[in-house]
Structure 1
Amino acid sequence: MSDHHRGIAFMVATTLVFALQDGLSRHLGETYNIFMVVMIRYWFFASFVIAIALRQSGSIRRAAATRQPVVQVFRGLLLSFEICVMVAAFVLLGLIEGHAIFACYPLLIAALSGPVLGEKVGWRRWCAIGVGFVGILVILQPGSGVFTLAALVPFASALMFALYGLLTRYVSARDSAATSFFYTGTVGAVSMTLIGLWFWEPMVPRDWGWMALLCVMGATGHWLLIKAYEVAEASAVQPFAYLQLVFASLLGFFVFGETLRTNVAVGAGLVVAAGVFTLVRARRVAASEG
């Protein structure tokens, strides 16, 4: 198997694991406080991150060495709160609609890359961004009586994740990937612990089992993602990340009894098509400039 195909295989496996993780997050978030669930998840994730940092950098001090500590800490805080918002979206709307709206985050990255990073976005990508946001409007159906404020929760999560992605690209110019990964896990674990301990609830033994599985899947998903980026270019495998929407929707339909409304299917199709076009176009532009 070529490196390209191995990278795609790793990315497909990543999306499947993350979709299962989202299903477990929804289950636990319906029963227990979301801050507590995310806090425990981050404890395991931080241990995984520190182990990776020690392996790649040789020491925690070397992994934590950064020229832009404020931005790195803000990135870690942003992602930890984004996860809380996304789990809340799964609880409020379900996996299908939550992921359908969240799928717009690559379009938000493209739209914000100009003002945040000073990158040039051509008219083709702006057209794709416009199509994607038409898809979001189809999903949300504003003014139809179906729209609820809860539908804005996954959109807020997508906006936060897009900003996190842009800041990750920003710090990559001066810090290594290992350093950024280290701050992602440790800052998130500290922030969620400071908040989550105030919302601690007793958990029944069965749910501790689900919680353990959630933690293992989180680490496994990130390991698979790292392997995908190790063997293939990120721009080549990133379009396959949309399969998480497919896997999560199947999980929502068959396990949680969710329904797939026609407007959600049509809108999600527009969002995914626009997002894939944006990713492919960005890859071609980068290749021509290189």
Structure 2
Amino acid sequence: MAAREKRSLAASTKGILCILGSGAIFSFTDAVSKVMMDDYPVGEVIFFRSLFVLVFTVGAIRYQGGWKGVRIVDWRRQIARGVNIALTGICFMFALKQVPLADMTAMVFLGPLILTALAPYFLGERVGWRRWTAVGIGFGGVLFIVDPSGGGPLWPLLLAGCVPLLTSTRDILTRKLGATDSANATVLISTACSVISGALLLSLGWATPDLYGMGLFALTGLLQGVAQFLTVYAFVYGEAVVVTPFRYFMLLWATLYGYWFFAHIPRLETFVGAAIVSASGLYIFYRETRAKRRA
């Protein structure tokens, strides 16, 4: 029994380290991309970042055994998810150019709340009054973050609000695809769609990258690929109930990188709103875990 507990603890530790690492990498690449958008059009940043993610994904698939592990049955949902991912990336990057990194990251964590609200209609899941209350409180927390009266343009906030809505529908599609298609296929199709969307956006502007710029494009893309696989392995090694709460450390990484790269210190309202959204998301996860155990 003691040996089994040690193995379980070791696996959970690996899972936690993977999710912490992925959060740190995702926030770092977002910060670097935000810096690069001062010199390169948003569409170009999306294109090259996605292109190098695709390079990493193809390499990882070949390393894991080749194309025989890429199983696609539901093409319709795969394409729908790919388009969703592309739109998410477009909304995120255009918003990130204007919105502080910590604020943007906090908005992304609204996704689990929206997913909970959509679950009864698209997944046939029952949502009790406690989770509905948490959803309402979480949406209230967003009002602290966005500060629509701050005097800045409204459109970046609207795009930022689209991101969690899109990620929640992405998660619904991912759950349904998990029953038929391989994870490698899902990642491959989604990344390819992001490359295509970035290529289409190149018509809006182009700045020829120098060697340093191309190096940063490659760095952000390859690190994004690493972070995606770390996220997957986090839930392979550790149970979701152990790993999921540590995803919220991404808010800390975003705050640190925001200060490091941009000397930006979030407003008190941002901290309050992020705490409310995070607490609501964690409570919803806790209630879902209890419901599954009872079932």
Answer yes or no: same fold by TM over 0.5.
Answer: yes
Residue type at the aligned position of 1:30: D
1:250 counterpart (242, 245, 256)? 256
Map of 1:112 onto structure 2: 118
Mapped contact 1:36–1:200 kept (Cα < 8 A): yes
**Count, aligned residues:** 286
Displacement of 1:235: 4.0
- Which whole-Å CA distance do the structure 1 matches of 2:119 and 2:188 have between them? 24
Question: Secondary structure of 2:73's match?
Answer: coil
From the superposition, tell whether residues 145 and 209 of structure 1 become closer, same or farther in structure 2 (CA, over 3 Å): closer
Cα deviation for residue 41 of structure 1 reads: 1.2
Aligned partners of 1:31, 1:178: CA distance in 2, in Å? 33
Match of 1:229 in 2: 235
How far did residue 198 of structure 1 move? 6.0
Q: TM (normalized to structure 1)?
A: 0.91
Partner of residue 187, structure 1: 193
Q: Deviations over 1:157-179 (max 9, x none)?
A: 11111111111112112222222
Alpha-carbon distance in structure 1 between the residues aligned to 2:19 and 2:207? 35
Q: How has the CA–CA distance of structure 1 residues 197 and 91 changed in structure 2, closer, same or farther, with 3 Å as cutoff? A: same
Question: Cα distance, 1:33 vs. partner?
Answer: 1.1
Partner of residue 206, structure 2: 200
- Is the CA contact 1:99–1:154 (under 8 Å) kept in the aligned structure 2? no
Question: Distance in 2 between the 1:232 and 1:181 partners?
Answer: 21
In the TM superposition, what is the alpha-carbon distance from 1:107 to its structure 2 partner? 0.8
Aligned residue in 2 for 1:2: 10
Shift of the 121–35 alpha-carbon distance from structure 1 to 2, 3 Å rule, reads same
Deviations for 1:125-161, whole angstroms, at most 9, x for unmatched residues? 111111101101122345x455751222211111111
**SS of equivalent to 1:93:** coil
2:226 corresponds to: 220
Which amino acid in 1 is paired with 2:142? I
Alpha-carbon distance in structure 1 between the residues aligned to 2:216 and 2:55: 19
Aligned counterparts of 1:49 and 1:120: Cα–Cα separation in 2:
36
Question: How big is the shift at 1:67?
Answer: 2.4
Q: Secondary structure at the match of 1:66?
A: coil
Q: CA deviation at 1:214?
A: 0.9
- Whether the 8 Å CA contact 1:53–1:179 is kept in 2: the answer is no
Q: Give unpaired runs (5+ residues) of structure 1.
A: none
Tell me how far apart the structure 1 counterparts of residues 250 and 11 of structure 2 sit (CA, whole Å): 22
Residues 199 and 137 (structure 1 numbering): CA distance in 2 closer, same or farther, change over 3 Å?
same
Residue in 2 that maps onto 1:165: 171
Contiguous gaps of at least 5 residues in structure 2: 1-8
Q: Secondary structure at the match of 1:111?
A: helix
- 1:130 aligns to what SS in structure 2? helix
Q: 1:198 to 1:267 in 2, by over 3 A?
A: closer
Compare 45-54 and 169-178 and name the one that shifted more.
45-54
CA distance in structure 1 between the aligned counterparts of 2:150 and 2:207, rounded to whole angstroms:
37
Query: What is the CA–CA distance in structure 2 between the aligned matches of 1:59 and 1:210, rounded to whole Å?
Result: 29
CA RMSD of aligned residues (A): 2.0
Match of 2:291 among 268, 282, 285: 285
1:44 counterpart residue number:
52
Aligned mate of 1:131, from 137, 141, 160: 137
- SS at the partner of 2:46? helix
- Whether the aligned pair in 1 keeps the contact of 2:53 and 2:221 (CA below 8 Å) is yes
Change (3 A) 1:52 1:275: same
Q: SS at 2:264's partner residue? A: coil
